[in-house]
Amino acid sequence: MTRGHDITIEQGGGHVRVARDGLVLAESRRPLVLRETGCPVRYYLPPEDVRTDLLTPSTTHTRCPFKGDARYWSVPGGADIAWEYPDPHPEVAAIKNRLCFYETEVL
């Protein structure tokens, strides 16, 4: 990474759940934990652990100089709540196609 900016990724051992309006959107016991300078800890979940049938691909796309281009997911009629990196930079390849939510509950 860039001097003064670090990203570490490790296999998490916790139980992560994402719920909205009482509906569980994701639940995983195999999250990747990403720690990035200046950012909150983030949990990247395997797509098999996410109810993508309850989400809608968003038109939002962003570029992170450290991770690459992200695409977003929303709840139908709602705001973006998750993102993924379909083709991340090689240094963070482990997060490829995993979804990360703004709000997660670690159990």
The per-residue b/e assignment along 40-68, b for 16 or more CB within 10 angstroms, e otherwise, is: eebbbbeeebbeeeebeebeeeeebebbb
Give 15-56 pLDDT, tens digit per residue.
999 998 889 999 999 999 999 999 999 999 999 999 999 999
Name the pLDDT band for 77 (thresholds 50, 70, 90). confident
pTM: 0.93
Q: Is the pLDDT of residue 3 over 70?
A: no
Residue 6 pLDDT level (bands cut at 50, 70, 90): very high
Domain boundaries, the chain: 7-106
> What class, spelled out in words, does domain 7-106 have in CATH?
mainly beta
